[in-house]
Structure 1
Amino acid sequence: MKAPSFARLRGYVRTSLHGDNIEAFINAAALQQIRIWDIRRLPDDRAECYLLVSGYFRLRPLLKKTGCRIHVEQRSGFPFFIVRIRRRKFFVVGGILFLLGLYMLSSLVWSIEVTGNVRIATEEVLKQARQQGIYPFQWTFRLRDPDVVSKAMNTQIKGVSWIGIERNGTTIRIHVVESTLPENRELVNPRHLVAKTDGMITHIIAERGRPAVRQHSRVKKGDILISGQIGTEELPSTVAAKGEVRALVWHEYDVAVPLVTKRKVYTGKQKELRYVTAGDRRLQIAGYGGIPFDSYETIVKVKRLQWRHWVLPFGSQTEVLKEAHIISEERSEQEALLAGLQEARSDVLAKNGLDARIHEEKILHQKADNGKVVMKVLFEVEQSIAEELPIVPQAQPDPGGQDEKAAPPQARG
C-alpha cells in the first residue's frame, strides 16, 4: 500500500509489530480503514510498518483481539516537529532573535568610502552626504534613491562634474569626478636672468628676452645673461626673461679619506622579545632571560588591532635583538684616493643640480698623513648658472613740474 497524501503534514510513525497473529492484525486494521503501508516481514515473528498518527490511536482494540504488541520506532511529520519546538522554546526564541539581530545589523550602513577626489576634501563630501541622510549607522531602508542624492550633492559641492552613489551590502561608495579647471598661468614681474657664479658660457637659449652674452664668453657673478629690457630707446618695454644658460664652472674640494674604515657586521644570531600592549603600557610574554650578546642592534615592530577604520589601543610589540660587531678594514692609498674622488663627485653633482655634468677633474695636491689621504681636487662642471633678478622701474621725471621759488617778503612802509 502506498503512503497516503500529506502524510508528513498529518504526521506518521514507523512501528514494529510482535506476535503470532500479525497477518490477522493487519487484515483487521484494513477492515477498520486504518492506513498501513511499507509492511516488511522481519525474523522472530516481527514486522515493520508505517501508519498515520490518527490511525495509531485506533489500534488498541485490535491489539487486544489479536494478541499482538506494537512499539513506535520513529516519529515523523509536522505534529512531532511542533512538539519538539515547544520543548525547546528557549532555543527557538534565541535562534529567532539571532536571525532578527543579524538582519538588523545587515540593514545598517557601517562604512562610507569616498574615491576619486583630489582637490575636494573627503570631509566636505562626507558632510554633504550626511545632509542627504548618508552616514554611519543609518538604516539602509531609509536611504533615498541614489540618483536623487547624486543630483543634490552635485549642486552643493563646487568643483565636481559628477557624483555617483553605490551601495554594496553595508558599505556606501561615493565616486567623485572633479571638474577640469583651466591651467592657471603664472604671473611674473619683469626680470633679468643673471649669473649666480663665475663661469664660461657653453650654451644659451633665450625663450623670452634679449641675450646679453655669447657662447664661450666669460661672465662674473651678477652679470646679466638674458635681459628683460627689450624694444627701442623711443619705445622701451620690459618682460620676464626666460631661457636656459649653461656654463663651465670650477669647484675646488679638499678631501680627507681615512685608511682604516669601520663597518657593522651582523653575525646572524638574534633574540626576540614579545609584548602585549595596552595604550602606553606593555607586558612581556616571551623572550625572558638575559641578553646573550655584548653588542647588538634593536629592531622594534609594533602591531595594533584594527577594526575597519578604527585603530584600537591594544596590540603586540616585538623587539628583535640582532648581534652585531664593528670590524676595522685597512685599505691602500689608491683605494682611499678612489673613494675620496667618488665622494667628491657625488657631492659636487648633488650641490649643482641633477643636470650638472663633470667635464674634467684634476688632483692639485695629494699626500698621506696621520692615517689619512689628504688631497685637493679641481672639478670643471657644466651647470646652469641663471638666476632671477627683478627689474625695478625707475621714476620718470615730470617735464612740466618746476620747483616754485618762494616770493621775498615785502617791507612795510
Structure 2
Amino acid sequence: MSDSRLEWFLKGSATLWVTGPGARQLVARLQRQGVVVRDVRFTADGVMLRVSVAALRHLMASRRAYGVRFRVVERHGAPFLGRRLVRRKAFAVGAVAFVAILYALSSIVWRVEIVGAEGEDQEAELRQAAAEAGLQVGQWKSHLAPPVELAERMVARAPNYVWVGVEVKGSVAVVRGIPKIPGVPQASQQPCNIVATRPGVILDVQASRGRVMVKPHQLVQPGQVLISGLLTDGGPSVPASGHVFAEVWYTSDVSIPLRVSSQGLTGASVSRDYLAVGGTRLRVWGFQEAPPVVYERDRETDWHVGRWRLPVQWVHATLYEVKPAVWQVDVAAARNEALIMAASDVRSIAGGEMVILGQSILQERLERGTLYATILTRVQQDIGAPAAIPETGGPLKSQGAAQS
C-alpha cells in the first residue's frame, strides 16, 4: 500500500488501541501483508498503532482470528476534519468569513502618503489632484488606473508640480512629487544698452537682441556701448541682451618666503592617565618626564547613567615630542606658488565665470629670504552689463583700452 503522508491526509487515518492475547502477532501479520503501520508502541496491556482508513478492513478481518479488540483513539485527515467542520458550521463560516474580510481589506487603499511636498498648501494640492485622478482612501486597488496613467492625471491637475510618481505598497499608496522651482523674474522690458564694465580686448560677441557696436580684437573702455538697444539711429529701441567676451588683464603682487619653518613629530611619546572630576584632572598613571616641547592628544570616556553624564570620567593623554624643522624652498617652486596665488586672487576679484588665458611675471626680486613678484594674468570673461539708454546721444565713439 502507498506510504505517502499526503495520501494518508487526504484519505484519512486512525490511531488505534489494540488489546488481547494476539495483539503483537496481529501487528507482525499486518507488516508481512505489506500494510503500512506507523507510530507503533508496545505496552504490557496492548499495542498503540496508527493505520490508514483503507487498512482498517484488514484489522476487522483478523481481530477474531487473533482474539483482539481495538478502540479508535484519534482520527486524522481531511475526511474527519470535514465532518468536524460540518458539525461546527458556525466556526467554519467564521473562518471563511475572516479570510474573505482579510482579503477584502487588503484590496483597499487605506492610506495615501504624500512625499516631496513643501508646505501644507502643496501637499493639499497634490492630495486633491490624487483624489480627482481616482486615488483616495477607500478605493479598491483593482479599480485604480496603472501608476503611469495616475501620475499623468495628477501632473495635469497639479500645475505647481513638474513630476509625480505613484507606488502602491500593500494598502498604502505613496505619491512622490517634485514641485516646480519658482520662476525667475522676467527680464525688464525697459530699453537699455549693454556696456563694458572693465577695459579689455573683444574676443567674441553673442548678441540675442540689439545692435552690435564692437568687433573682435577691438579695445574697449568701461562704459563703452557694446550692444546698442537702438536698432537704428533715431529709430525704435529694445532691451539689448547678449554676452560679450573679452580679454581682461589683472596684476597681482605676491610674496613667497623661501625659508619655511614648522614643527614635526619625532615619534617619541609619553602616555598618562587621569581621573577627571569636574574640571580637575588627577594623574593616576604615567609619571615619566615629558619632552620639553610636546603635542598632547586626549581621549576621554563618556560615562552615563541613563541620560545623566557622570561627573567622573577617565582621560587617557598621549604627549608626543615635537621638533622644530626649517627647510629651504627652491626659487622655481616659489615662482609656481606665486602664479597659483595670483590666479586665486584674480578669481576672487573677477567673480562669475572666467577662463585664465595665461600668466606672466612682470617683475620679481629676492629680498631677505622672500620672493616678491608682480604677475600679470590674462583672463577671458563676460564684461557686458545693462545700462540705460541716454536720452540724448551723440555718435558712439570707440575708446582706448586701459589696464587694471
Under a length normalisation based on structure 2, what TM-score does the superposition of the two structures give? 0.53
Contact 1:263 1:327 in 2 (8 A): yes
Q: 2:340 aligns with which of 323, 339, 342?
A: 342
Partner of 2:372: 374
Provide structure 1 residue ranges, at least 5 long, that are not aligned to the other structure.
25-36, 87-92, 296-324, 395-413
Counterpart check, 1:14 vs 2:44: no
- Cα 1:112–1:272, aligned 2, differ >3 Å: closer, same or farther? farther
One-letter amino acid matched to 1:192: N
Work out the CA distance in 2 between the residues paired with 1:103 and 1:264.
74
The match for 1:290 among 315, 321, 324 is 315
**Equivalent pairs, count:** 322
Secondary structure at the residue paired with 1:14? strand
* 1:363 partnered with 2:330: no
Letter in 2 for 1:15: W
The SS at the match of 1:229 is coil
Structure 1 segment 100-115 matched on structure 2, within 5 A: 109-110=110-111, 112=113
Alignment correspondent of 1:125: 126
Cα distance, 1:134–1:293 mapped onto 2, change above 3 Å: farther
Corresponding letter in the other structure for 2:200: G
CA distance in 2, matches of 1:242, 1:351: 24
1:363–1:116 distance in 2 versus 1, CA, 3 Å = same
Distance 1:216 1:154 in 2: 51
Give runs of aligned pairs for residues 231-310 of structure 1, distance below 5 A: 231-233=232-234, 236-258=235-257, 259-260=259-260, 289-293=314-318
Match of 2:219 in 1: 218
CA-CA distance at 1:386 after TM superposition: 1.5
Taking the TM superposition and a 5 Å limit, the aligned residue runs for 1:56-75 are none
Q: Which amino acid in the other structure matches residue 315 of structure 2?
A: G
Q: Which amino acid aligns with 1:208?
A: R
Q: SS of the counterpart of 2:385?
A: strand
Residue deviations 1:151-196 (CA, integer Å, cap 9, x gap): 99688644789988663312214477999xxx99855321111111
Deviation of the 1:16 alpha carbon:
4.0
What is the letter of the counterpart of residue 379 of structure 1?
T
- Alpha-carbon separation, structure 2, partners of 1:277 and 1:186: 62
Q: Which amino acid aligns with 2:387?
A: L
Rate the CA distance shift 1:17–1:351 in 2: closer, same or farther, 3 A.
farther
Q: Aligned partners of 2:164 and 2:221: how far apart in 1?
A: 58
Alignment of 1:19-38 (within 5 A): 19=21
Quote the offset at 1:377 in angstroms: 1.5
Per-residue Cα deviation, 1:42-80 (whole angstroms, up to 9, x for no partner): 99998767598xx9xxx9xx99x987576878764548x
Sequence identity, in percent? 20
For 1:172, the equivalent position in structure 2 comes to 173
CA contact (8 A) 1:147 1:165 kept: no
Q: Which deviates more, 186-195 or 67-76?
A: 67-76
Q: CA deviation at 1:15?
A: 3.2
Report which stretch shifted further, 165-174 or 384-393.
165-174
Distance 1:199 1:362, change over 3 A: same
Structure 2 alignment gaps of length 5 or more: 27-34, 89-93, 268-296, 393-404
- One-letter identity of the residue aligned with 1:225: L
Higher relative contact order (CA 8 A, sep 6+): 2
2:173, 2:241 → 1: CA distance?
50
CA–CA distance in 2 between the matches of 1:102 and 1:354? Answer: 62
Aligned partners of 2:212 and 2:228 also within 8 Å? yes
Residues 107 and 142 of structure 2 are in contact (CA less than 8 Å); yes or no, is this contact kept in structure 1?
no
Structure 1 contact 349–356 (Cα < 8 Å) conserved: no
For 1:154 and 1:19, locate their aligned partners in 2 and report how far apart those are by CA, in whole Å: 87
Provide the rounded CA distance (Å) in 2 between the counterparts of 1:102 and 1:273: 55
TM-score by length of 1: 0.52
